[in-house]
Structure 1
């Protein structure tokens, strides 16, 4: 009997400890996500005219419930994994929340404004007819900020937002727009001029976010987008698109000093820059280290590299998604997204500067 009683005592102590650990796992009050299809969790589902959607099979085949949610992935994307690491539920799409009667309560822990096809510049979504460019995403955030101020008061809203994490993953569509064969952008500016303009425009939006309470930023550089299946398909040799990768690197080289300068200018911000290009290069150069066996072809699609036809219900998809870097023509698999999120959150100085996201939370 004494042993049973002792067991019950230890059982309840364990439950109490578990509850404490769980409650202590929330590292930030809220997470706000800005960006493109790499972190879109369903905003484009609500854009009636948009061709950039993922609300159909085989997207979501590995997502809880095996349901397509609007994520351009077989499962969770980097935004989902980052939220988990912060101890938060994945921020829901803003367009799903804005008309809800309890929207003010949902805003307290953050929402996502990310939209497939979006770019830093307005108009980079011309190919897909409709998305939410970064300027509009920031407009939407400012309306959320105003709602928080109205419901919490200016001081409490600012205090909450100053501890929240603002993640920006954008720029790939701007790169694709520049190197596209039917684009006039390349005729109007050099790659360096275009990269400078991308950086300057992003800086303007970061300053707008700062003016509406944002203080902690996670900013991702552009990955090796020239190596995604859609770009390899353009070369008979299936090599990476050098022009796209070059422009991505020029932009990334601009991004770090811009963030340093912005911190000097504003004084009260902190940031973590993530070298997505470098991490993707390690995927391609040492795939076995990460459990990958296929680095060129998409998992879901049809034709050469599974990239002649996009990931549609008529497409086939690979049986083992975890061994592919790419899910479809452009986007990483859940396995790759998980690794990217790990590096964003706990990465070394090789890929995160000046701190990783975990260290940013503690600032």
Structure 2
């Protein structure tokens, strides 16, 4: 009898616990009904798997070695990437790749969010010259306009506006544009000074954010560019030969971020019904590199997966080797953070201070 009572109490406890968890999940979904992701390989969850010509793919080992099921999914990571952690924070499943939904023509699938992010993509068209095929931001917004029509079809015009006004629109892009400018042999410096190029990036992004606003977007999470000059690929290409960062690339990452932050402040004055969180990714990576032990990192220069100096001469392909201690590496491959680093980044986005996420973090943005 005692065992039965104990079993009943245990069952009751877990029932209450599950109800509480389900209630919290439900409340989170009410707060954020959907998340729409725009960006590059940092947040691609598999769109490039559907691009036949693309060389920017991660649907092969050793990618995904720590992902549930231990299979590569198209994420440029050993496990989950920032898009996955963002979804977890707001109580949603990861937004599926748009190209995986397009053929089904199922508008209901659009209601909890969609990812348009694509490895190799940039703010400008043509940043994928090396990779042959990606979905530039202009095309991603085009695809979102199709999703918008599907949401209107499902909920009606007023219902769609209410739904989208509570949804989160995350934009993580720009690194490929700058990397392309500073790539050896690039023709871009002959056409524009770095300042002209950065200014044009910001103006182009502003126009696309306004277009998204016309299609119902009201809450934006916009990430600045990280310390791209310190990724293993850039360190490896540095002519000093000491594995030092490319300081020119870092300098213009900072200049872009300053312009981006200023542009968002101006956009808020112009479009009074928007709210946004600007994430200072540059300072986050600077802290990782300068104070690695604080975050549990031991290796911040070399990639975990690859071959050659800094494991950055050959990318993370099946013939490459990968480290066993993924959690103490900042970089998974030539360009992308490990799952451990991605988790830290999203923790900052969600509840970081005003110095890290301006003028409010994601948690505060959701409450607006």
Which TM class, normalised by the smaller chain length?
Answer: over 0.9
TM-score, structure 2 normalization = 0.96
Given the alignment of the two structures, is residue 144 of structure 1 paired with residue 165 of structure 2, yes or no? Answer: no
How far did 1:243 drift? 1.5
| Alignment partner, residue 80 of structure 2 | 76
Give the 5 Å matches for 1:337-356. Answer: 337-356=342-361
Show CA shifts across 1:112-148 (max 9, x none): 0000000000111111111000000000000000111
| Structure 2 CA distance for aligned equivalents of residues 25 and 212 of structure 1 | 23
Determine the C-alpha separation between the residues in 1 that align with 2:228 and 2:65: 24
Counterpart CA distance in 2 for 1:317 and 1:11 is 40
1:98-113 to structure 2, matched below 5 A, reads 98-101=102-105, 103-113=106-116
- Residues 71-130 of structure 1, C-alpha deviations (whole Å, 9 max, x = no match): 0000000010000001000000000011125x2111000010000000000111111111
* Shift in alpha-carbon separation, 1:161–1:237, aligned structure 2, 3 A: same
Gaps of 5+ in 2: none
CA shift in 2, pair 1:18/1:247, >3 Å: closer
Q: Cα distance, 1:258 vs. partner?
A: 0.3
SS for the counterpart of 2:113 is coil
Inter-partner Cα distance in structure 2 for 1:10 and 1:226: 52
Q: Provide the C-alpha distance between the structure 1 equivalents of 2:83 and 2:127, rounded to a whole number of angstroms.
A: 22
Deviation at 1:17, TM superposition (A): 3.0
- TM-score normalised according to structure 1 size: 0.97
Residue in 1 that maps onto 2:247: 242
Query: Who is 2:57 aligned against?
Result: 53
Verify: 1:96 aligned to 2:103, yes or no: no
Q: 1:317 aligns with which of 294, 315, 322?
A: 322
SS at match of 1:128: coil
Q: Which residue of 2 aligns with 1:257?
A: 262
**Structure 1 residues 133 and 10, CA gap change in structure 2 (3 angstroms):** closer
Listed as ranges, the matches of 1:115-130 within 5 Å are 115-130=118-133
Quick one: distance in 2 between partners of 1:168 and 1:362? 19
User: Gaps (5+ residues) in structure 1?
Assistant: none
Distance 2:26 2:273 in 1: 28
Alpha-carbon shift at residue 18 of structure 1 (Å): 3.6
Per the alignment, in what secondary structure is the counterpart of residue 296 of structure 1?
strand
1:206 maps onto 2:209 in alignment: yes
Matched residue, 1:184? 187
SS in 2 for 1:233: helix
2:197 to 190, 194, 208: 194
Return the alpha-carbon distance in structure 1 between the equivalents of residues 99 and 326 of structure 2: 30
Displaced runs of 4+ in structure 1, greater than 4 A? Answer: 8-12
Bigger shift: residues 108-117 or 143-152: 143-152
- Once residues 246 and 353 of structure 2 are traced to their aligned partners in structure 1, the CA distance between those partners, rounded to angstroms, is 28
* TM-fit CA distance, 1:25: 3.4
Q: Which 10-residue stretch deviates more, 32-41 or 242-251?
A: 242-251
The count of aligned residue pairs is: 362
**Distance (Å, rounded) in 1 between the aligned partners of 2:115 and 2:296:** 30
Q: What CA distance in whole angstroms lies between the structure 2 residues aligned with 1:33 and 1:288?
A: 31
Using the TM superposition, give the Cα deviation of residue 22 of structure 1 relative to its aligned residue in structure 2, in angstroms.
Answer: 3.2
Q: Is the 8 A contact 2:37 2:95 kept in 1?
A: yes
Provide the residue aligned with 2:91 in structure 1. Answer: 87
Supply the RMSD in Å over aligned alpha carbons.
1.4
- Matches of 2:109 and 2:95 in 1, distance apart? 9
User: Counterparts of 1:274-289 in structure 2 under 5 Å?
Assistant: 274-289=279-294
Q: 1:326 aligns with which of 325, 328, 331?
A: 331
CA distance in 1, matches of 2:305, 2:12: 52
CA pair 263-302 structure 1, distance change in 2 beyond 3 A = same
Shift of 1:24: 2.4
